Amino acid sequence: MISIKGLYKQFGQLEVLKGINLEVKKGQVIVVIGPSGSGKTTMLRCLNVLETPTKGVISIEGQSLDFSKSVSKKSVASFRRLTGMVFQNYNLFPHKTALENVMEGPVIVKGEDKTAVRKKAQALLEKVGIGDKIDYYPAQLSGGQQQRVGIARALAMEPEVMLFDEPTSALDPELVGEVLKVMKDLALEGMTMIVVTHEMRFAREAADEVIFMDGGVVVERNKPEEIFTHPKEERTRKFLNMIQ
């Protein structure tokens, strides 16, 4: 369903992604781990075209962008709709309520009917467990609640794939569980997900496969039980020893 071929990204002189190749099947949950600076976030942002890759081909559900050629704004806009992104710092509109945050995309970007979107947004906020706080502003919500609004907002666009960029790393420890629970439920529903996280328990419990990135490449990919107990590569072993 997702295919990344020969993906490179350079910031000035700094080459951050050095030829990423990755295939993901529909319904798979992929957890991406690796040291800080290894390019995990950049890869995710390239998939959402928040960063423009230097070269490489990305395909999702039959739509392709080849960054070796010039890509039109229109094709980027249409491609971007295939993925929903959940950010480390929630990125909610501070002057909009939870409900308005979730409604924004479908109404403004997709031009959907406001009454129908309101219903959908209410249902999504209930699904993530904050149906009773739909009229609250982000500042009136805890970090865990804000992040669940962030997840509902991404889901409201009905993406094919959900991308999570360290969704719990800004949270106080006691709030991490409620966000991971929503993510696990989504995984069980069959959502295709790519999750950059340091939560190894989530990786063990929810991932179909774990990808270890280092120095801008995918070093190793395997089922969680394999990669955590019998990593094949020395670099993976060293990283896991450091964090476990």
Of positions 26, 27, 37, 77, contacts ligand ADP by CB under 6 A: 37
Residue 34 is a binding residue for ligand ADP (CB under 6 A) = yes
Q: Which stretch binds ligand ADP (CB under 6 A): 33-41, 79-87, 113-121, 233-241?
A: 33-41
* Minimum CB distance to ligand ADP, residue 89 (Å): 13
Interface of this chain with ligand ADP, residues 42 to 61, rule: CB under 6 A: 42
CA distance 238 to 85: 30
* Minimum CB distance to ligand ADP, residue 91 (Å): 16
Helix segments in 68-171, DSSP class H: 73-80, 98-104, 114-127, 143-156
What DSSP line would sit under 116-127, residue for residue?
A: HHHHHHHHHHHH
Query: Mapping DSSP to helix (H, G, I), strand (E, B) and coil, where does residue 83 land?
Result: strand
Residue 72 is a binding residue for ligand ADP (CB under 6 A) = no
Q: Which is nearer to ligand ADP, 16 or 219 (CB)?
A: 16
* Minimum CB distance to ligand ADP, residue 198 (Å): 10
* Minimum CB distance to ligand ADP, residue 213 (Å): 7
Residue 147 is a binding residue for ligand ADP (CB under 6 A) = no
Residue 38 is a binding residue for ligand ADP (CB under 6 A) = yes
Q: Which two tokens stand for residue 35?
A: 């040291």
Which residues, in sequence order, are CB contacts of 98 under 8 Å at separation 6+? 125, 130, 133, 134, 135, 136, 137, 138, 141, 145, 149, 152
Nearest CA-CA partner of 133 in 141, 124, 121, 143 = 141
Instruction: Note the residues at the interface with ligand ADP (CB under 6 A).
Output: 11, 14, 16, 34, 36-42
